[in-house]
Every structure is written in structure tokens, then in C-alpha cells.
A and B are shown apart, each in its own frame.
Chain A
Amino acid sequence: MTTGLWALVLVFLTGTLLRLPIALSMLAAGIAYFFSTGQDIGLLAGQVMGQMTGIYVLVAIPMFILAANVMNASGISERLWNAANVIVGRARGGTGHVTVLVSLVFSSMSGSAVTDASGPGMMAIRMMRQIGRFPPEMAVAVAAAAAVIAPVIPPSIPMVIYAMLSGTSVGGLFLAGIVPGLLMGVTVMLTVRLLADRYDLPPGEKIPFAQVGPVMGRAAMPMTLPVLLLGGIWTGVFSPTESAAVAALWAMILGTVVFRSLRARQFGEVFDESLRQTAATMLLISSAYVVNYAIANEGLAAALVGLIDRLDLTQTQFMLVMNVLLLGLGCFLDGSVILLVVVPLLLPTARSLGIDLTYFGVVVIINFMIGLITPPYGLILFVLSSLTRVPLPGIFRAVTPFFLALIVLLLILTLVPGIILFLPHFFGFT
């Protein structure tokens, strides 16, 4: 390791471990790197601002966040909950299954696991506790496991970032996420069913047939949002960025004109909440450019390509090693750091081994989504523990069967790339 790299790693780790915000730790590490390598420190501004102002697709992020927050504020969770209850609520541990189904549907409007957890997830926890007789830690575990599906089902903020890093198509990635996302939902539901016996969870109540039509009808309008958002991208009518903005506008029309549940006063709050989430997320992206510059400047990615070349790994062996590496890192590192710093390091190797970068991206994103619910550092678990006041140790125990089940699914998806690539290939994204 060179002096510059030592300075970078040392400052970044020290700052992060001493609770300096991660973005600021990266900037300070960048300054230390430029200083120790004798480069112009002004390059910090050049890297951050030059990259940020040059990538139009990044502006999709605030619009995706805005659309999801508008839908949240419009109270669609309750409409989706009632419809999902009609479909899967009768099963044993019914409210758990309903939670997963609501999450799957909400995922098609939101690109963020945190938004999913703190919006529909919170409502689901209340319902699981009150109606489903779920123990508190189990209710939080189900909501957390369901929330991590959000960034795999399109639209997805991590996928937009990955597309920017790898040069892959956002539309192709969005298509590739659908089947794995649905399989994640089935996996979490199967786990709920298996645990329902252990926790002695009752089945849900039967919904009278006369209520089925009206309940399903009330959920139909929110479903127009993903149709507009994803349909616009896949038909090529809108770019992903434009599509996100149109989806936000449609969400506002639904909330104010159709549902009449969104008041003028709430608009300010929705914009405030969206800009806070936008700033926190995009600040991380901007500061990661400095670290990525250092990685490229030091030739680290090229060195890794050489190492893998010498080890003579096959595509499958590399993917399995990468899974172990990312799952391990996910236990301790923030997902955003993995995506923004570690993934650019791995991309050249994946490219040189001829791995399909769309398949690689989906596997990477599922990896770090599992990391969001893996102890000891699981961001979603922290958020839900903070919001519900359920102690973390109990949540850690309850969530274990879920992340183990998701790891088994990850292994299957890694070994059978066709499951991920079937849809994008079918629609001509090659």
C-alpha cells in the first residue's frame, strides 16, 4: 500500500468509527490523500462538483423520493393493506403475509427500503401487533425483512446509482429486479408461515364476499403510479429521470384530486422530508467520488483484476467469493459505502470475467439489502427499533431466520443467472 492509500484508509476509518458523518469522513480522507500524494487539494472540488453536475440520471433520486413520500402522505398504505388482506390475510400468520404483499406493491412506487420501513412498515407493525398477535420483535422483524425488497423491485435508488457507476441501462436493471424481488417476497412469506407455528399465530378473519370488490377497487388507483412510472421507462416514452418527476406529479394528483387525502399544508412537509432524505443520500454519493478517484489513481481495481486473473477464478467462483465478501462487509459497513466504494473496485474484475453487469448489479443490491437487516449493523433494524422502541437484541434474534432464508435465495439467484436475466433479455435489454 502506498502512503496516500494509508492516509486515505486511516482518516476514513478513524472519522467513521468516531462517528463523524460518513460523507464528511470521505471528504476528509480525500483531503488527506491529495495532501500525502502531493496532488492539488483543489482537485477535491473538481472531483465532487465535476462529477455531480455531469450526471443527469442522479436527479431521478429526489424525484423518486418525492413520489414515494407523496404516496405515503396520501394514506395509500391503508388502501393497499385492505386489498392485500383480502388476498393473503386468511393464511396462518395472516397479517405477516399481508405486510409482505403491501411491501411488494409499495416497492413498485418507492425506491427506498427506509421509506418502505418507516411508511407502510410502521402501519404493518401496528396491525401485526393488534390483529395478528405477533410478539413485538417478530412484528418488527417481518416488517424489516419485507422492507428490504423495496430497492430490488423497481423503481430503485440503489439501481440508479449502480447504473451510473457501471454504465448499465436503468431500464434493464429495473426489469432484472422484478423476478428476484417477487422471489424475495415469497421467501419472506414462507418464513412467516414456518414461524407461525412456533409463535402460535392465528389465521386472519374471512372477508365477506360483498366487501371484496369495493376493497380491491380502492387499491386500483394507487397501482396506476407504477404503471405510469415503469411503463414510461420501458416503452422509451420517458427517460428514468423524467419518469420519476411525472410519477411525483401523478402521485400529487392522486393525493389531492382522486383520494382527496392530501391537504395543501402537507405539501410543504412532504417537500421538506424529501429534500432531507435527498440531501443525506446524495451527499454520500458526492463524497464517494473522491474515494473512487483515489482508488482509480492507485490502480487498485486493476490490481484486483490481476489477482483474480492469477487465481484463475471462474465466473461462478468469483460471484460466490463476492457474495461472501459483501455479506461479511454488510454486517459492519453501511450499504451506501459498499455500493459507492467497494462495488467500483469489483466492477472491472466482473467486466474482465465477462459477467453480465446487469446480473452482477442485481446480485450486489440483494447482497447489501440483506446487509440492512444483518446484525450487528443493520440500518433498517436501527430505524425500526428507534421508531417502535422495541429493543435491538430481541429484533436481532427474530430477524435471523429471515436473513438466513434470504441468503439461501441469494445463493440460488447467483448460481442461476437466468432467473435475473430472463425478463431484460425477453424485452431486448442485452
Chain B
Amino acid sequence: MLRLVHIWQVAAALIARVAMMLVFGMFIYGVGMRYLFDKPQSWVDEAVTILAVWLVFWTAAFVLKWSELISFDILVNAFPRHIQRFLIAASAIAYSAVVGAALYPIIDYVMFMKIMTTDMLLLRLDLVYSIFVVFLIATALRSAVLGVRLLLPTWPPVLADLLDASAEVEGSL
């Protein structure tokens, strides 16, 4: 099972890397066609925007570690570790419950969007929006697993992994 998870993580990271390269490559292609050959490719703007949005949700769902998602930890850090694990477990499990309860109407809304398409590439919007559903399901499952692992007797390394790495990678503001 762990081996399968590891293979999936490696594959997801590789897909994200290729997508990032593709966003960059399409940009350069679009700029080159517009300025060097005077043939603007109007579909490129839409394609890079959609691909970038997919990249963000895919990476957040499957590539980023939980500790890499920007968090506010001053309050939690003020407590001893055995309390911290209950606080974090509570918020993680509550998140998965809230998303779980909201999932059906969200999927219903996304499926309804099949009646519309994007302007240039005429992609069906239910397909474009589907990455958001994937993201919600993935983060809900991951937070539920995190919450349960923090409640098990083997919690110390799980909490250490979460808190000690948290300041190393942050957003880019």
C-alpha cells in the first residue's frame, strides 16, 4: 500500500512538472508566433490560463505536503505537543466532514456546467471545472487521514513532520 502511495506521489509530481513546463512552453510559443511570425494564436491565452488553474489544484491536491500549505500556527504553537495534536486533528477532521457534506451539490453544479463551453477552445466547462472536485475530494481524504493519524498512539512523528517543516516552503507574496 505504502509503495503504491509512493508511486502515485512520484507520478503526480512528474505530471505537475510536465504541466509547468507546458505552461511555460505555450507562453513562449504564443509570444514567438505573435512577435516573430505575426500570427497571433488567440487560443494560447485561454489554454495557459486553464492549464495553470489545473496545475494549481493538481499540485495542491497531490504534490504539496500538508506542511507546505500556508498556515497560521501561532496559537497552536503556544500549546504543548499532546494538546497540539488534538487541535490539529479536530480541524482536519472537521474540514473533511464539511467538504464531504458539500460534495454532492458541488458535483451536481459542476456536471450542470456541461451546457457551457470556454470561448476559444470550446472545452466543456464541466470538464474544466472537474479539477476542483478532484481537489476537494483529495484534500478531504488527506485531512481525514491526517486527523486519524494524529489520534493514533503513533502520533509524534506525524506531528513533527507537520510542524517542523512548516516554515521551509511558503507562498510567494
Contact = CB atoms under 8 A, between A and B. Distances in A.
A82 interface: no
Contacts of A115: 172
B27 A245 contact: yes
Contacts of A348: none
B168 interface: yes
Interface in B72-125: 72-76, 87-88, 90-92, 94-95, 98-99, 101-102, 105-106, 108-110, 112-113, 118
A282 B51 CA distance: 13
Nearest to A279: B59
Most B CB within 10 A of own CB, among A61, A271, A383: A271
A276 B63 contact: yes
A355 B28 CA distance: 38
A56 interface: yes
Contacts of B30: 242
A276 B169 contact: yes
Interface string A225-252: 0000000000001100110011011000
Contacts of B106: 41-42, 44-45
Nearest to A336: B173
Contact of B70 (A31, A242, A275, A334): A334
A49 B90 contact: no
B39 to A, nearest CB: 15
A18 B91 contact: yes
Contacts of A379: 170
A275 B63 CA distance: 10
B173 A335 contact: yes
Given A23-B70, A45-B106, A275-B63, A249 B28 contact: yes
Nearest to B129: A49
B49 A59 contact: yes
A20 B71 contact: yes
Give the interface size class of chain B: 35 or more
Contacts of A23: 60, 69-70
Contacts of A15: 91, 94-95
Contacts of B99: 27-28, 31
- Interface SS of chain A: helix
A281 interface: yes
Contacts of A43: 109
Contacts of A28: 94-95, 98-99
Interface of A: 11, 14-24, 27-28, 31-32, 34-35, 40-46, 48-49, 52-56, 58-59, 61-63, 65-66, 111-115, 151, 157-158, 161, 237-238, 241-242, 245-246, 248-249, 268, 271-272, 274-284, 286, 332-336, 339, 376-377, 379, 382-383, 385-387
Interface of B: 13, 16-17, 19-21, 23-24, 27-28, 30-31, 34-35, 45, 48-50, 52-53, 55-57, 59-60, 63-64, 66, 68-76, 87-88, 90-92, 94-95, 98-99, 101-102, 105-106, 108-110, 112-113, 118, 128-129, 132-133, 136, 139, 143, 167-173
29 contacts: A18-B87, A18-B90, A19-B72, A19-B88, A22-B69, A22-B71, A23-B70, A27-B136, A31-B101, A31-B102, A42-B105, A42-B112, A49-B53, A53-B50, A157-B173, A245-B28, A272-B16, A272-B17, A275-B20, A276-B68, A277-B169, A278-B56, A278-B172, A279-B56, A280-B60, A280-B172, A283-B69, A333-B72, A334-B72
